[in-house]
Structure 1
């Protein structure tokens, strides 16, 4: 079976607590993304019983046989998952209320929809669009739709296979629309749509450039082949059918992140509201950098380094257009959500691994601006505040004491200060800025940011063994509870997790963290405790306070990204076998080929990318360091096309559900004494051989282990 045939877009369409995935039809990094519009207010897509239409850029389409609808905005149909088929490249479903069959497939900036009406003389199409928009019938076979969403102009060009005639307009609280009668003598209407952010003529060009003289089936086949080409960059042998399904579905999810919005050599940028020439390099948007820097971007770098450098080039252009590096760059501009300056990690990781086809000096300038001139406050975009000045003077973000009222007007009332998370995440980001500064010869900057990268130490409370909040006077917040302190989502002090998780959030200086915690043996005990510690009450009360902390194993939460690197930390103790054990438990428990098969918010492929790496058997524990930690692969053989005709192979001899422990390892025939490999060995191609067994080899991987003599600057 081909890789594309393993993909099941329904995985994760029921969220464990918060949001779910959707069965998205697109091309890798495509601008056109399609999924059925289901019952408003039902967050679990799989559980929504009705379909209200199918998206077409800023518009949506809904077929019916009723010409006298009282309220077209409420038109919907019951549907049955057993009469639905979803793939990455096409979707089809029976709209049961009227027996209409609906299909859709996509190219990069266009799509084709087919609607089969059982009662031929009664074919009607309802079109909805933004209330500020308009639809113009250009002829009885074409129309243009314009509208503005979140301040961004959207244009859709529609071409109909059969003549249409207008029979009415409608408006609702949020939408306007048009009802068209269709002369579908054969019982079938095909609608082709092209979308643009530039103008309506470009929307038409995008449609004609991609789909002229191509049938629905040809377009569907091309999309299928495109996905097969992208997914087959990793070929796996062995493992179960379910593991392959989860693996390739996860890889598919990761390739939806960051969409090219370049249209015939131009792109619209919401970062300055202008249309720009692309200069031969695509412009990418839509990135959840707080989530994706950890393992999604490193995964894509292995598979498509040229595209990844274009993405960084896009970030640099955004900086030039708006004056800072966006935190969550979307079509409508930056959404300053979450915490940290993690674009710095993304940029330096790519640079340090030897991929440098972007303006490194300008990228560093942008990294430094974010680190020194933009507030660290979560969910806020603006200049430095009095809280930032405390950080610059004392090295930590100040917290409020219990009962103390917020007086800093810039603080988001819901997201709060998140003081410990802000300090720890910026310490890591500052390490990345420091490394980039040294690479570019900025020695003074290097020394300054290296000093800041050690600020995590100022929030480690030796008395409790946890990263803990301090008030502006430098005193510990009294009666702080590492498990339940911080309110909803821990947001007084943390970002969606608690101190049990964030106490390990020192990716850049693991050796220094081990030293703080009392040495490797004590560090290992703390990791063991993390996976065993319970909730001090009922689990539902704990999840009520920490709804993002799903996929729980003790206090460890696989369902939220700050935990991702933690199972690999056993590789820095004398028990790397515990990393192997934990990873197999996590993959088996929390990733399954069912609608509930993703244990947390997917966040543009972040949750899935963790699985892809872990199933292959290695993981980038610290983006910015050109190395990967070894885990426990699921497949007997994993072959990764790393570019330039080179292939990196992971061969796990005797691997099985029982045989999860590494007995010995070699890289290109040379014995590995420690549980990590270098990026250069992966990128150059070659073979990693792991000999697996059903009982841990407690001596393997510890040969190079020793107590840290000092903190590491750079690997």
Structure 2
């Protein structure tokens, strides 16, 4: 894959009312400490791909639009100007003559024929101002907060600051800009903007940044030439993207895949640097000290746990191992495993789904050396309420007392179900560590989801402290007891035990009626606890896949439910339609918020034909392949080859499966297949073949695993 074919403006055409990705056009290394982007507008949605004006090139750490303007902590804005545009805060640019790629950002201004070219390094980058002959310079400002501390003939130093502070030690990004020529004038335009004008025709700025000190920022200024820096970042991105080689007759679908793969490698962002002995160090936002080891930020684990980290376990194990250590450092320094890091933990969203990341890693034998301490941290979150910020399981006392979170607590149903899933994850890790008593305790608690199932209503329904289900139940009402959805999206959030859920419905036949209605219903909703239409409601209505709101994380696993009733052929056309109708490589690329690589990774898995339905089970549910040929280089160095014959638009079903030239009729793939060179060959058909996948082959459920301990390996 040629990195120049990736346009970073992918999924950036959005607004408050409707998300088609809610992404930013980031240029920088994979998992970079900083990204460079173009700022065209004020506010949360500060980039519009259709805008013909820009306010500056932003050095950014923006995790999501929803973090707000000040959520782009420690950010810096650099607006290139010439004599014609000096003093202006918003200038025209030519988007057709500009370049937006992961390895280079180049902005062309017609009015003065000025080209500004940015090539990132690991901790900074170079910015070359070329073309215009008179008065080239820059205007520096801070989107959130910051200070310019000094400037001399050839150096500018400052600190971009964290506006919204939750931890004890506010974060600062120290930066040093080394200018290739003399600064002829410095002018404070107002309290927020400072203009520097340089001597000479071609100006190169070399930028170093650090969360630790000016000394580190100075040492982080790139030393290599522009050509060498360009080659380094290009090679790095090509190495990442070429982990998966996709061939298909439809170029647009291939492009969609690689744009999603680019997005999967953006988060979480590194917060560590290297000391003089090239050992990783980071700034501890609780003590204000420099600590050894890795640290990462900008991740909503409620979103990313479902898809991003299972993907990393397959193709990005080296970085994943560092990320796990970084998450453990969050626990060591802040007292709880992270929930929503930006840059420190704000505790956003229900549950504590980092537990699923840990369980999945444990089952795949990734960083087993960390698992004893991770288990300690998981149990701490499950048993001890945080004081102050909503970290860990904020309703764990109520959950542990009642077996569910009572209805007077916010988002009680989703919190209850996510806690139950986390209990399963503790069970997995404890079992891996041969701590049988702990495993059995949390295995029992992993069944707590049953306490909210209302046989009368046929959904997961909130209960009060006396055990009474909420009266006047409305399955289409959003919010209140549910998170970004209604009972339709939330009821099935028990991926650890779908077989047990089926039993609550009275068996496969009754469950089949429900999941058929799930897809075949109108995308109906009542605003409920939100009191107004939120963008997820609008997206479900526009996307028109019934109550399967694939534009939001709680629905990610819903298309795969049909495997659990032995009817995989139900979901095959459903998945193909979702992938081909709701995803593309353009500016309106996704059916909802992309969210730190989570939706990109959903598309990657689904297009490959398998999905990590239950973390920690070592299984992937077979779905529907999208491409003619895929060769995946796994982290182990082994190759997974996926071939799809008769792969045309009218072929909506899998007719047969061969694995290493042998017929395969199971509804899932085991992790063992990914530990050796394997070839999976699908042949598609126009009508369903119910015998292709055995109706007796049902993916993992905890209820079954407890009967047959060989299932959990």
Q: Compute the TM-score of the two structures, normalised by the length of structure 2.
A: 0.89
Structure 1 residues 207-606: aligned runs within 5 Å? 207=221, 211-215=222-226, 217-264=227-274, 265=279, 266-278=281-293, 282-330=294-342, 332-374=343-385, 380-381=389-390, 388-400=396-408, 417-484=410-477, 490-535=478-523, 544-549=532-537, 550=539, 551-606=543-598
CA shift, 1:310, in A, is: 1.7
Identify the range of structure 1 (549-558 vs 611-620) with the bigger mean alpha-carbon deviation: 549-558
Q: Match of 2:198?
A: 182
Q: Match of 1:75?
A: 89
User: 5+ residue gaps in structure 1?
Assistant: 401-415, 485-489
Aligned match for 2:82, one of 65, 69, 91: 65
Identify the range of structure 1 (363-372 vs 440-449) with the bigger mean alpha-carbon deviation: 440-449
Tell me the SS of whatever aligns to 1:629.
strand
* Counterparts in 2 of 1:130 and 1:700: CA distance versus 1, 3 Å: closer
Q: Does 1:33 align with 2:35?
A: yes
The question of whether the paired residues in 1 share the 8 Å contact of 2:174 and 2:210 is answered with yes
CA shift, 1:48, in A, is: 4.2
* Counterparts in 2 of 1:455 and 1:47: CA distance versus 1, 3 Å: farther
Over residues 178-218 of structure 1, what are the superposed CA-to-partner deviations in whole Å (9 max), with x where a residue is unaligned?
2112112x2x32211111001011111111xxx31412x33
Q: Match of 2:135?
A: 122
| C-alpha separation in 2, matches of 1:422 and 1:539 | 20
Identify the range of structure 1 (123-132 vs 506-515) with the bigger mean alpha-carbon deviation: 123-132
* Counterparts in 2 of 1:131 and 1:531: CA distance versus 1, 3 Å: closer
Tell me the SS of whatever aligns to 1:93.
strand
| C-alpha separation in 2, matches of 1:324 and 1:538 | 36
Aligned match for 2:606, one of 583, 590, 614: 614
The question of whether the paired residues in 2 share the 8 Å contact of 1:32 and 1:107 is answered with no
Count of residues paired in the alignment = 674
CA shift, 1:543, in A, is: 11
Over residues 54-105 of structure 1, what are the superposed CA-to-partner deviations in whole Å (9 max), with x where a residue is unaligned?
1246422112224896xx5x60113343233211111122235554322212
CA shift, 1:230, in A, is: 0.6
Structure 1 residues 620-659: aligned runs within 5 Å? 620-659=612-651
* Counterparts in 2 of 1:322 and 1:653: CA distance versus 1, 3 Å: same
* Counterparts in 2 of 1:126 and 1:537: CA distance versus 1, 3 Å: closer
The question of whether the paired residues in 2 share the 8 Å contact of 1:552 and 1:559 is answered with no
* Counterparts in 2 of 1:697 and 1:6: CA distance versus 1, 3 Å: farther
Q: Match of 1:413?
A: none
Q: Compute the TM-score of the two structures, normalised by the length of structure 1.
A: 0.89
Tell me the SS of whatever aligns to 2:536.
coil
| C-alpha separation in 1, matches of 2:520 and 2:421 | 27
| C-alpha separation in 1, matches of 2:144 and 2:510 | 61
The question of whether the paired residues in 1 share the 8 Å contact of 2:527 and 2:533 is answered with no
Identify the range of structure 1 (92-101 vs 531-540) with the bigger mean alpha-carbon deviation: 531-540
| C-alpha separation in 1, matches of 2:177 and 2:577 | 49
What is the Cα-based RMSD across aligned positions, in Å? 2.7
| C-alpha separation in 1, matches of 2:193 and 2:473 | 55
Q: Match of 1:161?
A: 180
The question of whether the paired residues in 1 share the 8 Å contact of 2:453 and 2:461 is answered with yes
